[in-house]
Structure 1
Amino acid sequence: MPKNKTTFICQECGYESLKWMGKCPSCGNWNSFVEELAKSNKNNVFLDKNNESKCIVNIKSGEHERYDTDIKELNRVLGGGLVKGSLTLISGAPGIGKSTLLLQTANNIAEKYGKVLYVSGEESEEQIKMRSDRLGIISSNLFVFSEINMDIILNQIEQLKPIFVIIDSIQTIFKPSITSAPGSVSQVRECANEIMRTGKIKGISFFIVAHVTKQGELAGPRVLEHMVDSVLSFEGQRTEEFRILRTIKNRFGTTSEIGVFEMEEEGLVEVNNPSNVFLEETSFKQEGSIVIGIMEGTRPILVEIQALVSETKAIMPRRTAVGIDSSRLNLILAVLEKKLKISFYNCDVYVNVVGGLNITGTFADLGLALALISSVKGRSINIDRMIAIGEIGLTGEIRPISYCDRIVNEAEKMGFENIVIPKRNREKIKRNNINVIGVSSLREVINKVF
């Protein structure tokens, strides 16, 4: 009897090795290798005589074949709706509202288009029914199936013939022919392959729920992200009411869109005007506080940044940033110390973006610098109802940003009277209802707003 061949697979990145290693040479994680049976591909090779190459001119585009989820924020993140035959991966912390959002989406699609199957490997049918009663879900085209065997799930899909399937979650599903435990690299990879093959051949749209690690990263092998068409991340705190749905990867739209939701008793309610929500409790002309404008995809959003600078006797002062990249904060502090001679080496610095939004890019540089200066000097900004946008260079210059005109329009719509922007952006913007101030250096900004 031939001996079964085994291989060692890293459970973090999927790296394979013929022998066990303490540290993965690919991702650098320790003690992540698990021994699994090596899979033979001899019996999996098949030929499909009906499959042949096609001229690209004769191929029908599927761009217009989208399902309207009736949730505008979700449609925005997906690029205009759920694409037929697409495979979408959604991740988020436990209790953040992933299942609630997907159940609402499943109900809306079932009401408008046809049969939808919700497969749960973590909850029973009765538990899902309890949540559906709370959300007011009554569609007769929505079917619930509690199962973790991949073969049985595929058989149920073959019998029911749904147009949309939700798998909650991929870490609980297993394929009997694979000897490793559910959630392992081999199981996740093979189950995802089966789901992808079924979706592409039968034109079924799939939503796959994935767990996250303690660091907030997607659990399981990175190959899973490459296999799917879209990757969505559901962010927020369980103790807060607002949730952010962010696109990480999207083959059918932009990768920088966000959707904003509010968690209420009847479920997730979409927020159509995030700027109004993030600025609801803002008090103007307070030291260490300023409103900035950013772009999330095609949407301009106004948010408040707060900074607190306090003197400390500690040898190593603290640098804490919530919603702002820590390396960006350190860069701004270094520029302020070098170019404006403002000392932060003996101070603890705390920065927070109000509302729980994570800011990427350089839109917040100027606003962050003004908030830090306002806090360390103990002085509020003199200009009333002002926002600031702009990138700060290492020499202290204010560099232009993209989509500046859209942010100015949003500020004008929200009732702001003054906006500080880079001088090169000022040359292209003409407004009568808002005072647009163009600046070219940090020192020039200080002279105008303090």
Structure 2
Amino acid sequence: MAKSLNPGAAKLRYVCNACGADAPKWQGQCADCGEWNTLVETTTSKPKARAGSFSVERSAVRRLDEITGEDTERVPTGLSELDRVLGGGIVPGAVILIGGDPGIGKSTLLLQALAALEGRVNTLYVTGEESLTQVSLRARRLGLPRLDLPVLAETGLETILDTLTRTRPGFVVLDSIQTLYTDALDAAPGSVSQLRECAAQLVRYAKGKGCTIVLVGHVTKEGAIAGPRVLEHMVDTVLYFEQDVGSRYRIVRAVKNRFGAVNEMGVFAMTDVGLKEVSNPSALFLSRHEQPVPGSVITVTRQGSRPLLVEVQALVDATQGSNPRRVALGLEGNRLAMLLAVLHRHAGIALGDQDVFANVVGGMRIQETAADLPLLLAALSSFRGKPVPNDTVVFGEVGLAGEIRPVQAGEERLQEAAKHGFKRAIVPEANKPRKNVKLDLEVIAVQRLTQALDAI
């Protein structure tokens, strides 16, 4: 085939949404990351000259021992739950990516943070999805403490960078990254190439000028941030907004943070005047039944650096079909099946002809193994019809040999339980508090699953 006479003509390429790798032709599986059906068609052409680009001073090679180890001073946002997720406040030069379902409150939370920061840090809110009138109406509806916030409605990256260079703000919100485009590429806004190039230039600006930039990202129907996965690797912090269906509570969780703990969590309540911080999240995930009910056990999970009391519920019922069901909400389904096998092998309690449904109250997701023992006790309580006392808290990992293994931060979990009025705790032997630690609750340390069943 004859070559094209126009060397700058657009060429078709196929780019992977998961890893950003490109291929000359479409194929079902990406050869780099192995994901299926992630290659999308895009056009590439000879890059144009970048108009309005900013200059960054060249960096010199330095020795680590010549660089001072002083911690960068963080700036509190004024929202303590958001500061907790960020690791104590915003860091100059950091790039933060926040994603969540449509209408969950991403723009509302960031607008409230801007209003709390204005006066201490120069801010700028760049909107590519709303008009300035819409942003003003939302700010007035939220009753923000101050309305003199700088706002820019723009989607051209070069114009935004020129504005940032002239005004030099310290905290910038871009809502959203999928609406931005650069003149250097012919691809449509939101495409893989545009997202990657726009994010790269914004990260370069943030690091060079010491400006904190927050990028709002759309999510796919699977709940992941839309665009190439390389976008999450480029930024410093990735936050996800989560919501239980039908609930007014919102959870902001950090899945990546170069300046703080991963899996840290902040809890907010959506009201008619915006998001309000929840100072005692443990109260949200406890039913506090007046009388003990079968199938309910209280445990202490750990979300980032925060111990949190949650209620694990189980329902065991005779199966109506040939195959018993194992359903887990907020817990790992495969681990539920494994724990039921351990219960049968080492305690002699068979649930092979029973449907087992497990749930964590309040829509919380528990990803640690400390919920193993409370899950088994909740299932046994429902199966026998005998409730676990309301003043008892349980945590511990269950091994395949029937042993109860320790979990991290055992003393902090016990202190959190004692603070909320619990009187008894069943914990692994290795998590038994030291003699010099005084707690206002009875601690029963167990080594085997059979010992835990006898104690309950």
> Considering the TM-score relative to the shorter chain, is it more than 0.5?
yes
Contact 1:11 1:184 in 2 (8 A): no
SS at match of 1:133: helix
Deviations 1:304-359 (A, max 9, x none): 11111111222333222111122221221221122223233322221111111111
Task: Name the structure 1 match of 2:28.
Answer: 22
Residue 101 (structure 2) pairs with residue 97 (structure 1): no
Tell me the CA shift for residue 227 of structure 1: 0.4
Residue type matched to 1:242 in 2?
Y
Contact 2:312 2:361 in 1 (8 A): yes
Instruction: Give matches, 1:328-367, under 5 Å.
Output: 328-367=335-374
Task: Name the structure 1 match of 2:304.
Answer: 297
Residue 418 (structure 2) pairs with residue 412 (structure 1): yes
Partners in 1 of 2:175 and 2:245 — Cα distance? 19
Q: Which range is displaced more, 317-326 or 223-232?
A: 317-326
Q: Which range is displaced more, 369-378 or 425-434?
A: 425-434
Instruction: Give matches, 1:118-157, under 5 Å.
Output: 118-139=125-146, 141-157=148-164
Instruction: Give matches, 1:163-174, under 5 Å.
Output: 163-174=170-181
Partners in 1 of 2:173 and 2:42 — Cα distance? 30
Gaps of 5+ in 2: none
| Cα distance change on mapping 1:159 and 1:19 into 2, 3 Å | same
Partners in 2 of 1:373 and 1:39 — Cα distance? 66
Residue type matched to 2:151 in 1?
V
Residue 214 (structure 2) pairs with residue 207 (structure 1): yes
Residue 259 (structure 2) pairs with residue 252 (structure 1): yes
Deviations 1:114-169 (A, max 9, x none): x2111111111111112111221253552122222111221222232211110111
Partners in 1 of 2:214 and 2:335 — Cα distance? 35
Task: Name the structure 2 match of 1:65.
Answer: 73
Task: Name the structure 2 match of 1:267.
Answer: 274
Contact 1:384 1:418 in 2 (8 A): no
Task: Name the structure 2 match of 1:389.
Answer: 395
What's the C-alpha RMSD, in Å, of the aligned pairs? 2.4
Contact 2:47 2:185 in 1 (8 A): no
Q: Which range is displaced more, 102-111 or 14-23?
A: 14-23
Residue type matched to 2:189 in 1?
P
Tell me the CA shift for residue 57 of structure 1: 3.6
Instruction: Give matches, 1:401-440, under 5 Å.
Output: 401-426=407-432, 428=434, 430-431=437-438, 433-440=440-447
Partners in 2 of 1:346 and 1:440 — Cα distance? 29
Determine which of 86, 92, 117 is the counterpart of 1:84: 92
**Ranges of 4+ aligned residues in structure 1 off by more than 6 Å:** 41-44, 46-49
Task: Name the structure 2 match of 1:51.
Answer: 59
Tell me the CA shift for residue 188 of structure 1: 0.5
Contact 1:62 1:84 in 2 (8 A): no
Instruction: Give matches, 1:230-249, under 5 Å.
Output: 230-237=237-244, 239-249=246-256
SS at match of 1:364: helix
Contact 1:21 1:33 in 2 (8 A): no
Partners in 2 of 1:39 and 1:327 — Cα distance? 50
Contact 2:50 2:183 in 1 (8 A): no
Contact 2:18 2:35 in 1 (8 A): no
| Cα distance change on mapping 1:344 and 1:216 into 2, 3 Å | farther
Determine which of 16, 27, 45 is the counterpart of 1:10: 16
Residue type matched to 2:28 in 1?
G
Tell me the CA shift for residue 285 of structure 1: 1.8
| Cα distance change on mapping 1:423 and 1:17 into 2, 3 Å | same
Contact 1:13 1:220 in 2 (8 A): no
Q: Which range is displaced more, 277-286 or 181-190?
A: 277-286
Task: Name the structure 2 match of 1:108.
Answer: 116
Partners in 2 of 1:48 and 1:246 — Cα distance? 33
Tell me the CA shift for residue 175 of structure 1: 1.3
Partners in 2 of 1:13 and 1:110 — Cα distance? 37
Partners in 2 of 1:139 and 1:54 — Cα distance? 44
Residue type matched to 1:85 in 2?
G
| Cα distance change on mapping 1:81 and 1:318 into 2, 3 Å | same
SS at match of 1:262: strand
Task: Name the structure 1 match of 2:196.
Answer: 189
| Cα distance change on mapping 1:194 and 1:50 into 2, 3 Å | closer
Determine which of 301, 308, 318 is the counterpart of 1:311: 318
Tell me the CA shift for residue 49 of structure 1: 7.5
Contact 1:167 1:206 in 2 (8 A): yes
Partners in 2 of 1:350 and 1:75 — Cα distance? 36
User: How many positions carry a matched residue from both structures?
Assistant: 447
| Cα distance change on mapping 1:280 and 1:335 into 2, 3 Å | closer
Tell me the CA shift for residue 440 of structure 1: 1.2
Tell me the CA shift for residue 411 of structure 1: 0.8
Partners in 2 of 1:156 and 1:185 — Cα distance? 25
Tell me the CA shift for residue 170 of structure 1: 0.8
Partners in 1 of 2:38 and 2:403 — Cα distance? 48
Partners in 1 of 2:442 and 2:205 — Cα distance? 57
| Cα distance change on mapping 1:376 and 1:9 into 2, 3 Å | same
Task: Name the structure 2 match of 1:198.
Answer: 205
Q: Which range is displaced more, 341-350 or 299-308?
A: 341-350
Deviations 1:20-64 (A, max 9, x none): 2233232422263313215669999x9978432123344355733
Contact 2:132 2:152 in 1 (8 A): yes
Partners in 2 of 1:39 and 1:23 — Cα distance? 27
| Cα distance change on mapping 1:179 and 1:432 into 2, 3 Å | closer
Partners in 2 of 1:66 and 1:135 — Cα distance? 26
Q: State, as a whole percentage, how many aligned pairs show the same letter.
A: 41
SS at match of 1:112: coil
